[in-house]
Amino acid sequence: MSSLAAARPARARLGRWPYDDRVAHLVLLDHHMQPSAADVAGWIDEAAEKGAHVVRTGALFPNAVPAFLDTGFHVADTLTLLARQLDSEAPNGLGRRPIGTPIRLRRLRPNMLHDAAEIDRRSFSTPWANDGPALADILRATPYHRSRCVSIDGRMVGFSISGRADRSGYVQRLAVDPTARRRGIARHLLADALRWMGRRDITRALVNTGTDNQSALALYEGFGFEQQSGSLVILERALR
């Protein structure tokens, strides 16, 4: 553990898991933190006091995992972490193939999160879908963010949320309705996010996705992202 990490207290936020009030969602507020078993035990007690039956974490970097395993958590899901440096452009600037005819993007406003959540629910299997409040939390997760959506014939069919913290950029959520895929929507949303990062002195972009999500892996790798060593994990523990 670095002296800087040791000097900063581990901080986390407890909320409800989307679509399941029995599950507490535990999110570390800084992925550099290495919580202690005592930290985790305190969060478990807090979740129990709030009536949760299960505690489930957000995606954890490897340095945070031991304290959770030591306090009875187990792996619920494994994610692949990908990164891309933004100081060296990939062919064509933002991908291996031309983006093609532009698709109109507009800002994803707070009153549109319900529609975005429906897309998220249709795109990701239970229990990994986000509802409106969870998407609002994602928007607030970094000091700066950019959110965009795409509509066809007046109906939202895709959205993205990206964030910036220090000089790192994060593709936090990207979803396209299954009925509107293979039209280049995801590629336009991702290209827009990377352009935004490039204008804000961000040196590295990060994203994670399911280890078996081959279409998402192909999308990100087509934009110059490379898989990193060490997976991210989501952990959970039953309380009662």
3-state secondary structure string across 155-200: EEEEEEEEEEECCEEEEEEEEECHHHCCCCHHHHHHHHHHHHHHCC
Q: What is the pLDDT of residues 150-190, one digit of tens each?
A: 999 999 999 999 999 989 999 999 999 999 999 999 999 99
Residues 6+ apart with CB under 8 A from 104: 150, 151
Domains and CATH numbers, the chain: 3-78+231-238 (3.40.630.30), 82-227 (3.40.630.30)
Could you tell me which of 160, 172, 183, 178 has the C-alpha nearest to residue 123? 178
Work out the percent of the chain whose per-residue pLDDT is above 70. 90
158 DSSP β-pair partners: 150, 176
- pTM of model > 0.85: yes
Q: What is the overall mean pLDDT for the chain? A: 90
pLDDT of residue 4 exceeding 60: no
> What is the C-alpha to C-alpha distance for residues 216 and 8, in angstroms, rounded to an integer?
35
> Angle 214-222/185-198 helices, nearest 10 degrees?
40
Q: What is the pLDDT of residues 45-58, one digit of tens each?
A: 999 999 999 999 99
CA 74 to chain centre: 20
- Tokens 């078993």: give the residue: 37
Q: What is the pLDDT of residues 150-160, one digit of tens each?
A: 999 999 999 99
